[in-house]
Structure 1
Amino acid sequence: MSESESALSHPLPGAVGLSHLTAYDWEAADGVCGGSPHLHLVCTEAYVVTGGRGAVQTLSPDGYRDIALEPGSVAWFTPGTVHRMVQDGGLRVTVLMQNSGLPEAGDAVFTFPPEVLAHPETYAAAAALPPGTGPDVAAAARRRRDLAVEGYLDLREALVAGDAEPYRAFQRAAAGLVRDRVPVWRELWRSGALAAAERTGAQLDALAAGEPSYLGAATAYDAAPTRLASFGMCGRRDEYTLPDTTVV
């Protein structure tokens, strides 16, 4: 391992992203309180529940699931899984995201109705929020959530009835919307998750050769939230800017 490599700052283990999330308590059209259903294209996401109760509703090729969330439970879902966080009283989770930097660069697509997904400009306008954390932003986030729930309920109804085609069509539309971002994502992956894995490989090589000099660069890091109570997809987010991560 070169001196420049050993001097690099290090991301969280595995180059994951981290945030704390309090689920929205806004009631949706189906009478359920919670966030905006969406999927990720290349990132697995995990919820570590730290308080309250609720659920995560998922749509995937194996059907519809309603996974209970309570303190101490962990749930995670792979790319392509539509997920909706549901609030049942004080639900708070720590969110771990694979490939830190990719979700911030747009690796998520809301379950808006097909007519919105069909036009990138229309989708972008529906997905965007104004800057800040004031009442106008809250209102926009709620409108965005309601539009995502509208499309989600149609997908769920069809999937439960045994018709997976609307769900598959949504996946295809989501992939089309993000296709142009892949070159940027690839660079973020190379500098984040791939680089972290390659560092481990270099460390194993050094140990096998009896040359553990890289241990001389051992150190510790700490971080505090850099943005509090922003309006995320599922709820209010406390966000972190961490070493070797890029927020777009």
Structure 2
Amino acid sequence: MVSESARAEPALPHPLPGAVGLSHLSAYDWEAADGVCGGSPHLHLVCTEAYVVTGGSGAVQTLSPDGYRDIPLKPGSVAWFTPGTVHRMVQGGDLRITVLMQNSGLPEAGDAVFTFPAEILADPDRYAAAATLPPGTGPDTEAAARRRRDLAVEGYLTLREALVAGDGGPYREFQRAAARLVRAKVPTWRELWRAGPLATAERTGVQLDALAAGEPAYLDEATAHETAPTRLGGFGMCGRRDEYALPGTTLPHQAE
């Protein structure tokens, strides 16, 4: 028999499959200091991110212990980056991407750190001021998003130059600085993970137990859900961002 406590629903209902996050991006076409058009380089500490390319062309530049890579993107391409990988979306022409994020809720709660210069990363107040955008999608927000992108590219180019030259020290120090910045957020992240991704996985275990016991009563609750974007054209890290405000799936970015 499956206990009543084991049947309890997670605190955040109706997650997408696997409790992933979902958004759509149109890559920025702003030219950066190195002549490349694209987004703000950053990494995630505990979430893997995937790009599913739906239109246009471009690339994603990554920094990792593997070194520097420039991965072409075209319709049908899928690229994903594990925690700690610095990634920068590059615009080739009308690049459009559907983004799938592991551990939905955590990126929105701060699991992303920009590659700002070291002196900004060392000061949480300066980092927060540089990372936070004004509300809305107007010209002031656009200007702030562009300044943020340029500052992230400044730090990124320093990391990339060292890594290409065979010196991984600055890249590793950036990872450590990013970890220090988010450390105080871990208790909140843990609760979001328990209520969303972990609860979703545990519910599968409950369902398997019910099937093994020959008592698939949970199938009586079968249903369908639908939604639509609730914010269009927001200024995300990589580009203009369409978001879905589903409980436990994609929440408004607190850093923006």
Instruction: Tell me by how many angstroms 1:69 deviates.
Output: 0.4
Structure 2, unpaired ranges of 5+: none
Task: Give the deviation of 1:132 after TM superposition.
Answer: 0.8
Q: What one-letter code is carried by the residue in structure 2 that aligns with 1:135?
A: P
Partner of 2:33: 29
Q: Pick from 90, 99, 121: which aligns with 1:95?
A: 99
| Secondary structure class of the residue paired with 1:75 | strand
What's the CA shift for 1:10? Answer: 1.9
What displacement does 1:9 show? 2.9
Alignment of 1:58-77 (within 5 A): 58-77=62-81
Note the alpha carbon deviations across 1:177-231, whole angstroms, 9 max, x for none. 0000000000000001000000000000000000000000000011100000000
Letter of the 1:12 partner, please give it. Answer: L
Alignment of 1:33-72 (within 5 A): 33-72=37-76
1:88-107 residue CA offsets vs partner (Å, 9 max, x unmatched): 00000000000000000000
Hey, what's the Cα distance between the residues in 1 that align with 2:29 and 2:15? 32
Which of 136, 140, 157 aligns to 1:132? It is 136
Instruction: Give the root-mean-square deviation of aligned CA atoms.
Output: 1.4
Partner letter of residue 102 of structure 2?
Q
Q: Residue type of the partner of 1:82?
A: V
Q: Gaps spanning 5+ residues in structure 1: where?
A: none
The answer on whether the counterparts of 2:10 and 2:196 sit within 8 Å (CA) in structure 1 is no
Instruction: Give 1:6 deviation, angstroms.
Output: 9.0
Residues 49 and 102 in structure 2, CA contact (< 8 A), matched pair in contact too:
yes
Is the alpha carbon distance of 1:40 and 1:92 closer, same or farther for their aligned partners in structure 2, counting shifts above 3 Å? same
Equivalent residue letter for 1:29: A
2:176 equivalent in structure 1: 172
Give the match for residue 202 of structure 1: 206
- Runs of 4+ with >6 A deviation: none
Following TM superposition, by how much is the alpha carbon of 1:8 offset from its aligned partner in structure 2, in angstroms? 7.3
Cα displacement string for residues 29-48 of structure 1 (whole angstroms, at most 9, x for unaligned residues): 00000000000000000000
CA contact (8 A) 2:59 2:70 kept: yes
2:28 partner amino acid: Y
Distance (Å, rounded) in 1 between the aligned partners of 2:148 and 2:124:
16
> Aligned AA for 1:150?
E
TM-score (norm 1): 0.97
Deviation track 1:74-133 (CA, whole Å, cap 9, x = no partner) reads: 000000000000000000000000000000000000000001101000000010101110
Distance (whole Å) between structure 1 residues aligned to residue 125 and residue 161 of structure 2:
27
CA distance in 2, matches of 1:204, 1:44: 26
Change (3 A) 1:7 1:56: closer
SS at the partner of 1:85? strand
Q: Distance in 2 between matches of 1:4 and 1:53?
A: 45
Percent of pairs with identical residues = 82
How many residues are matched? 248
- Aligned partner of residue 93 in structure 2, secondary structure: coil
**Which residue in 1 is equivalent to 2:109?**
105
Shift of 1:241: 1.0
Aligned-pair distance for 1:5?
2.6
SS of 1:5's partner is coil
CA distance in 2: counterparts of 1:244 and 1:93, whole angstroms? 21
Whether contact under 8 Å (2:244, 2:250) holds in the other structure is no
- Distance change (3 Å), C-alpha of 1:7 and 1:188: closer
Tell me: CA distance 1:147–1:225, structure 2 relative to 1, closer, same or farther (3 Å).
same
- 2:141 counterpart SS class: helix
| 1:235 counterpart (220, 236, 239) | 239
Q: Equivalences for 1:12-27 in 2 at 5 Å?
A: 12-27=16-31
Going from structure 1 to structure 2, the CA distance change for 1:187 and 1:7 (only over 3 Å counts) comes to closer
Secondary structure, counterpart of 1:90 in structure 2:
strand
